[in-house]
Structures are given as C-alpha cells and as structure tokens.
C-alpha cells in the first residue's frame, strides 16, 4: 500500500488532501500541533498521527521517522503546515516575521530533507503548499508572500536536484482558500477557492506519468484578488 505524510494534515487544505489520498488508497501519517484536531482526523481517516511543530528541527525528524517506522517507506510528502499573519511591513514585529519564515519555509525544508532518502527509494512526490502571494505583490502579506516565494524557488530547485532520483515536486499556489487562516479577509467562504479544489489538483498531479513534471501550479479565484 502506498503511503503519504502530511504536515498540517488535521485541518484546512492538509485535511482535504488527506481525505483525497485516503480515498486513493494511501496509508496516512498526519502531523500537526493541535492534538485534538489530530485525534479527530485519526478517527475519521484511520491515520497515524504525530503531534509536532515544524519550526522545531527535532519535531520534523520525528515526524518522518515515525512514518518510516510505521509504514517502511514514503510515496508522497505534503508540506501543508503554514501560518499567515497579516500586517504591513512598517508595523510588522520581528517575531511575526521570523515565525512565518520558520514555519512556512524552514519547516518545509527540514521535513523534505529528512524525507528525501525515503522519497528517493520510492521515486516519490512532494507537494509544497505555497501561495499566490508568493507570485505577485500582496500588500499586508509581505512576510507571508516572501516565505511562499521562497517555497516556490525551493521547489523548483528540488525538482532539478532530485530528477536523477525520480523524485518530483510541485509548489501549489492558490489564492484565498476557504480555511480558518483566510477568515480575516472578510471574503465569503463560497467565493473562495475550496480546499477540495486543491485536493483535486493534487490527485491529477499524482496520476501523471513519470515523464511529466509540474514544478508550479497557480490557482486564482474567479473573482479578482484583492
């Protein structure tokens, strides 16, 4: 049975991807900070769960090792754990800048690095949740956008570096998605991209032949982005 490890897998886009991958026959490990949400996801999907914080290097290593011990390999890694703190640069604290880089960028690097031996063995796939904010100027989201732009660059480099090992990767860059993290926008949920839209895109990516690679996918809302 193929297996997948999903960080941020207990809610939002990560949970939608977990549901899709479960439907596709993947055994799952879900990692997140909040145990209550993890337990709910475990009850729904029968997944293994690991409580941890991707801003902590030791937690990232523990997530991957726990998955390897349970399933013996890894076919799909989804780096979905993320944090967004809105604020203009003139008012943004150093703490909030550092936190967004630590979770969104450094965590993606750490988990991916730890997982690469397993992914090379399976010629696996990495999905990194980036954002449309990493592809265009987004006032009020400069720190978040900078981290996500770096995730896109990281993913492009990963694709080239790991090509000889058969590992592919995609940076998924949606506009505002109907999740709790986007509630601050005031945009009605039905007018946002749905988490299931992201899941369907990943389903399609995983069905491509090994000869096709898609380093970046940008998903715009039908309505103009603010």
- Give the residue numbers annotated as catalytic, written as ranges: 144
CA angle in degrees (0–180, nearest 5) for 64-124-3: 55
Report which DSSP code applies to 174: E
Q: Is 10 helix (H, G, I), strand (E, B) or coil?
A: coil
Nearest to 5 by CA among 57, 44, 56, 62: 62
Q: Which two tokens stand for residue 218?
A: 């940008």
Helices (H), the chain: 12-23, 35-45, 57-71, 94-101, 107-122, 142-161, 195-206
């Amino acid at each position: 049975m193929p297996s997948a490890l999903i960080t941020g897998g207990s809610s939002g886009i990560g949970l939608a991807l977990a549901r899709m991958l479960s439907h596709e026959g993947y055994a799952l490990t879900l990692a997140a900070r909040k145990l209550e949400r993890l337990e709910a996801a475990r009850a729904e999907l029968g997944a293994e769960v690991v409580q941890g914080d991707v801003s902590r290097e030791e937690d990232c290593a523990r997530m991957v090792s726990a998955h390897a011990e349970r399933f013996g390999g890894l076919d799909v890694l989804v780096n979905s754990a993320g944090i967004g703190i809105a604020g203009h640069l003139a008012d943004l604290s150093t703490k909030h800048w550092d936190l967004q880089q630590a979770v969104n960028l450094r965590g993606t690097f750490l988990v991916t690095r730890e997982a690469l031996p397993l992914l090379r063995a399976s010629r696996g796939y990495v999905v990194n949740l980036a954002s449309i904010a990493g592809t265009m100027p987004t006032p009020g989201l400069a720190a978040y956008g900078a981290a996500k732009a770096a995730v896109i660059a990281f993913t492009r480099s990963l694709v080239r570096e790991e090509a000889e090992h058969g590992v592919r990767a995609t940076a998924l860059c949606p506009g505002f998605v109907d999740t709790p993290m986007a509630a601050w926008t005031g945009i009605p949920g039905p007018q946002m991209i749905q988490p299931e839209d992201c899941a369907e895109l990943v389903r399609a990516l995983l069905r491509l032949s090994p000869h096709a690679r898609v380093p970046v996918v940008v998903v715009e809302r039908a309505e103009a982005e603010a």
